[in-house]
Structure 1
Amino acid sequence: MGLSFVSRRVLAAGAVVVAGTLGLAACGTDNGGGSSASAPSEGGVRVVHPGKLTTCTNLPYEPFEFKEGDKIVGFDVDIVDLAAKKLGLTQDVVDIDFAVIKSGAAMAAGKCDVAAAGMTITPERKANIDFSVPYFDATQALLGKKGIGIKSLEEVKTKNLRLGAQASTTGLDYVRKQGFDPKEFADSPKELLGLQSGQVDVIVQDLPVVLAWLKKPEVADKFELLASLDTGEQYGIGLKKNADPALLKAIDEAITTAKADGTYEKLYVKWFGKKPGELG
């Protein structure tokens, strides 16, 4: 038997009240990333997803971050893991466009807690995001066809060679400041493909990435490291502007402790095959 009209009205009104209450509760805990960050983690920091330290990165960027089977691994992943374990959290890595990372938009929108993407600390980026203490001294490099006969960036210009660079990177910024207008590629795999397919003659990229490429026979057979460019760069772990001091402190302490107790050197040798200072 059906309910009377009055009974249906009463139940309907009650449902509206309950729904409204739930809606307000949800609005009160939404941080923009689709999950609650209303309570601190076990380590005393506020995170996008409870129990996790969510890291934004841009794949692949071997040996800093790349896929090995279904797992995302790399030097950056291991560095952030040190902080995650210190906080009693599990790291969760999210692949996202690098431009959205370096602008700070990804973290501001609650997509992640930190960013680890082989990201150089620059004044422009510091205007939008906070950085940890430096964890890697970076150098740019030139990769080109074997026998091309150049050993400097200047020779790229004098020989009128076509130069390529990855978009939104300090490598691109550096060669532009040297008077070049390189062809831009959306990510590092597309940049390498541009070289392999003859779209450009030489590319500029971070030295460790170039060295990782040269471990692949299909690259090493045809291409070689032409020159290293000492640009004085340092990588940092990125955080939202005006970051949670407890989270920033945990990351800084994890990096500093790792450098002091030998853990950093072990990770460096694991991913680069050399000790810090010996890379090139």
Structure 2
Amino acid sequence: MFRTARGNRKRPGSHRIRVTAAAAAAGAFLVAGCSSGGDGPSEAAGGVPVVEKGKLTTCTHLPYPPFQFEKDGKVVGFDVALVDLVASRLQVEQKILDTPFENFKTGAFLNSGECDLAAAGMTITDERKRNVDFSVPYFDATQALLATKKSGVTSLADLKAKSKKLGAQAETTGESYAKAQGFDPVAFESSDAVINGLRTGQVDAVVIDYPVVQGWLKDPKNAAEFTLGQNIETGEQYGFSVKKGNTALVAAIDKAITDAKADGTYKKLYEQWIGPLPQTTP
């Protein structure tokens, strides 16, 4: 899925601290050398450095269902569940900071020591690799075209032929793809803004991650208004990013992902948050 490496999903004000559902349910479970309380950098199990004792601090940008979003006052989603696996392996709890997405491209919050990793449905690109280190890919990404039923649009070719307006999330690979196809898409700063723009007639169709579209269409009201058009295969993959040189944390994340795929946990979480696991997924 041509998951847009989202960017510029800004909101005014400072970033907010969120708690994952798993952390809220389980509470802190720490090992020697990672006692609860206290501030400042420390180490988790295996000598993995963390920016706060007893925590694995994750930068994300909300909402972006099904990868990360709020439900019943908790932050949940596919990305959140996978990072909880990493936190469990490190014997700490995950803490989430809701931050502006443009910082994910530069690694700003990682470099400043505010977060240990970024988890935001982010596409691995060579440009980003210059600023951050990535885990192994954890998701094969595809984009989809979602259009209003009244537009009669089912493909980008239709959109051009009928001179309809296209939208995308700002600073994302979806927006970049649309521009590469000759469009000048209306840029929205969040996924909520994207679907609102479609709903209010600011645009006739949008290009955005297929799992996001799947989630939207589960709502009967959306299913009545919108139609799923073409899938756009771009060969993109998502990864979690860490500060450059943090090899210990990358290794821990990679191990958690690899083990989850081997023991069936990944499949279970994928089906819980996204849907049937494609047969081609390793």
User: Amino acid of the residue matched to residue 254 of structure 1?
Assistant: A
The structure that has the greater radius of gyration is 1
User: Take 2:100 and 2:250, find their aligned partners in 1: how far apart are those partners?
Assistant: 23
Name 1:36's counterpart in structure 2.
40
Name 2:254's counterpart in structure 1.
252
Q: Deviations over 1:209-259 (max 9, x none)?
A: 0110111122111111111111111000111122x2111100001001111
Residue 219 (str. 1) matches residue 229 (str. 2): no
User: Amino acid of the residue matched to residue 40 of structure 2?
Assistant: S
| Greater RCO, CA 8 A, separation 6+ | 2
- Which of the residues 222, 239, 243 maps onto 1:240? 243
User: Take 2:182 and 2:267, find their aligned partners in 1: how far apart are those partners?
Assistant: 37
Q: Secondary structure of 1:76's match?
A: helix
Q: Deviations over 1:147-191 (max 9, x none)?
A: 533332122112111000101111011111111110101111011
User: Take 2:221 and 2:39, find their aligned partners in 1: how far apart are those partners?
Assistant: 44
> How far apart are 1:41 and its partner, in Å?
2.1
> How far apart are 1:278 and its partner, in Å?
8.0
Name 1:75's counterpart in structure 2.
78
- Which of the residues 54, 58, 66 maps onto 1:55? 58
Counting only pairs closer than 5 Å after superposition, residues 118-157 of structure 1 correspond to structure 2 as 118-157=121-160
Contact 1:143 1:224 in 2 (8 A): yes
- Higher mean displacement: 267-276 or 111-120: 267-276
Contact 1:43 1:86 in 2 (8 A): no
User: Take 2:170 and 2:243, find their aligned partners in 1: how far apart are those partners?
Assistant: 22
> How far apart are 1:43 and its partner, in Å?
3.1
Contact 2:169 2:189 in 1 (8 A): yes
User: Take 2:169 and 2:91, find their aligned partners in 1: how far apart are those partners?
Assistant: 36
- Which of the residues 245, 248, 263 maps onto 2:265? 263
User: Take 1:35 and 1:239, find their aligned partners in 2: how far apart are those partners?
Assistant: 20
- Which of the residues 99, 102, 113 maps onto 1:99? 102
User: Take 1:55 and 1:170, find their aligned partners in 2: how far apart are those partners?
Assistant: 22
1:277/1:204 CA distance change after superposition, 3 Å: farther
* TM-score under structure 2 length normalisation: 0.83
Contact 1:268 1:276 in 2 (8 A): no
Contact 2:168 2:207 in 1 (8 A): yes
User: Take 1:111 and 1:155, find their aligned partners in 2: how far apart are those partners?
Assistant: 45
User: Amino acid of the residue matched to residue 36 of structure 1?
Assistant: G
Residue 177 (str. 1) matches residue 158 (str. 2): no
User: Amino acid of the residue matched to residue 259 of structure 2?
Assistant: T
- Higher mean displacement: 149-158 or 99-108: 149-158
- 5+ residue gaps, structure 2, are 1-37
Contact 2:147 2:227 in 1 (8 A): yes
1:278/1:195 CA distance change after superposition, 3 Å: farther
User: Amino acid of the residue matched to residue 261 of structure 1?
Assistant: D
Q: Secondary structure of 2:256's match?
A: helix
Name 2:26's counterpart in structure 1.
none
Contact 1:45 1:246 in 2 (8 A): yes
Percent of paired sites with the same residue? 55
Contact 2:132 2:244 in 1 (8 A): yes
Q: Secondary structure of 1:168's match?
A: coil
Contact 1:43 1:88 in 2 (8 A): no
User: Take 2:193 and 2:39, find their aligned partners in 1: how far apart are those partners?
Assistant: 33
User: Amino acid of the residue matched to residue 110 of structure 2?
Assistant: M
User: Take 1:172 and 1:85, find their aligned partners in 2: how far apart are those partners?
Assistant: 35
- 5+ residue gaps, structure 1, are 1-33
User: Take 2:252 and 2:67, find their aligned partners in 1: how far apart are those partners?
Assistant: 21
